């Protein structure tokens, strides 16, 4: 199914339904119940734009020296999860956590620009990419996109969803940026979503995540599966890792997500110390991209990256299960220099 969705997105196919017509009545009833208990009443997420790891670019004797390390330019795109909906401090958002972690690994300052929009669907990515690339003097070195949940809840045709995401990755890669995509989370983990909607939400979310992976890898990007919001932690501790609205992650939940994305973010810039060769003991290896995408969608925190040119079975990808790196609390950002 993921292969069909991705092919439809690439070659202009029509929408492919993921839920049979016979279940629509039950699903709609469950959706109405879920809406009464999940989400709503959101405050705007805190602004996380700014410079992180400023000390790495300063000479204590000459704070204004011209030989300071050039900052890494990092852009965050996507929906409310990328924006950090549900937390109150900029330093608790995933963009801030990733920028601070990247600065620590690179030992360079990191300038973050976050253009993510709460409520955004994949068709908003064209506008967001245009914002990111609007300043010729500030072209990002690396971008993280987190998108897909609203596409599912608003029933955007999956072929259309993947088409918009693939186009966004292609534009950013053409501009010279590395791209990491956090794929659609498993909406079946939301605590107040009940059966049969929970089963259907999980199935649809994973199919979209796998199709996103195929589309992104074909454009030269990398993906990290957000799966069941990154592993058994969310299923085991929903009251700690979900925020007050029972839908968006809490500060601890965002930290868990950032821990899984950071190794891939650093690897995209050649900064991660691990060997790039697959580790057989961790069930890593080279697979046709559709198989790699399906495996990643079922296991949170799994990375898929382009590997080999297309063969008889299509493009190949490297499936990796990177060791997570704990991200400590980060202070709020310093304003970006004008």
Q: What is the pLDDT of residues 212-258, one digit of tens each?
A: 999 999 999 999 998 755 444 555 554 444 444 445 677 777 888 88
Q: In the chain, which residue ranges form alpha helices assigned H by DSSP? A: 2-11, 24-37, 80-83, 94-106, 125-132, 149-153, 158-174, 197-218, 232-236, 238-241, 251-268, 289-297
Measure the CA angle with vertex 304, ends 302 and 305; round to 5°: 145
Instruction: Identify the CA nearest to 48 among candidates 124, 103, 116.
Output: 116
Longest distance between any two alpha carbons in the chain, whole Å: 72
62, two tokens: 């000459």
Please state the three-class secondary structure of 122-186 as a single string.
HHHHHHHHHHHCCCCCCCCCEEEEECCHHHHHCCCCHHHHHHHHHHHHHHHHHCCCEEEEECCCC
Question: Average pLDDT in the 66-72 region?
Answer: 72
Query: Exactly one of 48, 80, 122, 225 is catalytic; which is it?
Result: 80
Query: Exactly one of 42, 69, 123, 245 is catalytic; which is it?
Result: 245
- In the residue annotation, 248 being an active-site residue is answered as yes
Give the span between the Cα atoms of 46 and 90, in whole angstroms: 5
Give the span between the Cα atoms of 31 and 26, in whole angstroms: 9
Say what the pTM is: 0.82
Least confident of 66-80, 109-123, 299-313, 317-331: 317-331
Q: What is the pLDDT of residue 94?
A: 93
Query: Exactly one of 141, 228, 248, 250 is catalytic; which is it?
Result: 248
Q: What is the pLDDT of residues 273-294, one digit of tens each?
A: 666 677 887 889 998 898 899 8
Give the span between the Cα atoms of 223 and 202, in whole angstroms: 19
219, two tokens: 């454009």
Least confident of 23-37, 144-158, 249-263: 23-37
Where is pLDDT greater, at 199 or 31?
Answer: 199
């Amino acid at each position: 199914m993921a292969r069909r969705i991705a092919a439809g997105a690439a070659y202009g196919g029509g929408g492919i339904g993921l839920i049979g017509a016979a279940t629509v009545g039950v699903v709609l009833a469950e959706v109405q119940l879920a809406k009464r208990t999940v989400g709503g009443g959101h405050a705007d997420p805190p602004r996380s734009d700014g410079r992180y790891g400023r000390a790495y670019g300063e000479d204590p004797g000459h704070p204004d020296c011209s030989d300071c390390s050039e900052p890494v330019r990092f852009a965050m795109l996507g929906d409310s999860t990328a924006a950090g909906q549900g937390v109150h401090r900029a330093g608790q958002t995933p963009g801030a956590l990733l920028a601070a972690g990247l600065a620590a690994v690179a030992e360079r300052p990191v300038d973050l620009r976050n253009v993510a929009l709460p409520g955004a669907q994949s068709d908003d990515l064209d506008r967001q990419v245009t914002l990111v690339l609007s300043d010729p003097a500030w072209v990002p070195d690396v971008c993280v996109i987190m998108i897909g949940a609203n596409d599912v809840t608003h029933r955007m045709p999956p072929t259309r969803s993947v088409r918009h995401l693939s186009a966004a990755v292609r534009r950013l890669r053409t501009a010279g940026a590395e791209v990491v995509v956090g794929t659609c989370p498993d909406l079946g983990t939301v605590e107040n979503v009940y059966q049969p909607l929970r089963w259907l939400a999980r199935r649809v979310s994973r199919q979209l995540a796998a199709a996103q992976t195929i589309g992104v890898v074909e454009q030269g990007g990398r993906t990290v599966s957000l799966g069941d919001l990154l592993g058994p932690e969310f299923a085991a501790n929903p009251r700690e890792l979900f925020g007050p609205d029972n839908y968006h992650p809490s500060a601890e939940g965002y930290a868990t997500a950032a821990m899984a994305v950071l190794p891939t973010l650093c690897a995209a810039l050649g900064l991660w110390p691990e060997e790039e060769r697959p580790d057989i003991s961790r069930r890593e290896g080279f697979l046709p991209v559709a198989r790699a995408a399906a495996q990643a969608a079922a296991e949170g925190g799994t990375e898929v990256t382009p590997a080999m040119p297309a063969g008889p079975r299509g493009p190949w990808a490297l499936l990796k299960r990177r060791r997570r790196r704990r991200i400590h609390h980060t202070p709020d950002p310093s304003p970006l220099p004008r």
